[in-house]
Each structure stands twice: as structure tokens, then as C-alpha cells.
Amino acid sequence: MMLLDPLTARGLWLRWLPTFLGFPAGGFIAMTVPGPVTNVTAALAGGAVAGAVLGAVQWLALRGRLANTEWWIPATAVGQAVGLAAGAALVGYRTGLQDLAIQGAITGLGVGILQALVLRQHVATWFWWAVAMPLLWALGWIVTTAAGVRVDQHFTNFGAFGAIVVTALSGLLLVQLLRASRSIGGVGTPAAGGA
């Protein structure tokens, strides 16, 4: 389907948009298996589970556009596990707006750095991904809290409202980074063989 062609900016962004579902899906599984984020062990396990689900969903959107992105899934899982464990511990597992924004920024830093390393072979300005993710993940928690979601249940991920905002903005950033890389020197080349 041409509308979802990952080789076009619009197609890649439209393929990226449904990945917002990876946030609530991963969060639901993490709440079911390791449970609420109330200690380091739960944060590490929950972050790894939620990150693996999110990473897998995002990888599906990327794979028709970028070759050699199989590390996206473990990068997201490890980044979210370490980031969530550090962020939640730093705020004492509290769930106030400011606490969750800080936790989100630290989780986004972990995810952003490791995902950016995967993007490095495709995107000349890959570091902007690592810079943006802490801001976007903090925003995700702010939007979720403002939407009235019961964040006091110690979720691993922000809710669907935050996920939609984060996914839309990160998709625009991804398209822009790839577009800039092509004009810089052909780094953002499509995957061989398509989807």
C-alpha cells in the first residue's frame, strides 16, 4: 500500500503512529508479570518487559525503511529497564507529576541513548534522538497525569494519551533526521529489499 510506504516520509510516519500501542500493551504485560514499580527489581523487570514490547512494535515500523535494526528491540528493553530503575529510585517511587516527569526523563535518556546508537548507522545526526527522548518521555508522563489517569498505581509506562503525543512527535523527529541525513551524505538509505 503506497500510503504506508516506509520509503516516503509520510509512509514512515504513518507506519510509526500505531506504535503508540506498544506503550500501553507493554505496560499492561509488565503490570501483570513483574507488577507495579515499587522497588528496583520490579522496575528492572517491568522496564525490560515493557521495553521489549515497545521495541518490537517500533522495529516492525522501521524494518522496511532501515536495514540492520535488529538491535532496536534489546536496546529499547535494556534502556527502559535501566532508565526506569534509576528514575524511579531517584524519585523514591513517588507518583506526583514532578516525580513522574523526572522518572520519564531518566527513562527516556536510557532508551534514547541506546536507540540512538542503533540509528547511528542510518542517521548522521543520530545524537538528536538521544537528546529528544528524555524530553518526550517526561512529556508523556505529564500528558498522562493531566488526562486524569490513575498514575498512583506505579505503572512502567505512561498511558495511551501520553503515548500518542510521544509517538507522533518522535515519528516526526525520525522522519526529519532521516531526511537531513540523506541530504548530508546518504546515511539514511533504505533497507535493501524493502519490507
Structure confidence by residue, pLDDT tens digits, 97-118:
999 999 999 999 999 999 999 9
Whether 115 contacts 75, CB under 8 Å: yes
Whether 57 contacts 25, CB under 8 Å: yes
Residue in the block written with cell 515519528: 171
Specify the DSSP element, H or E, that contains 120. Answer: none
pLDDT tens per residue across span 116-163 = 999 999 999 999 999 999 999 999 999 999 999 999 999 999 999 999
Cell numbers for 83? 532508565
Domains of the chain by residue range:
2-185
Q: Average pLDDT of 169-185?
A: 84
Cell numbers for 50? 515493557
Q: What is the pLDDT of residue 7?
A: 76
Q: What Å distances lie between residue 147 and 85, 91, 103, 158, 161, CA to CA? A: 25, 21, 18, 11, 7
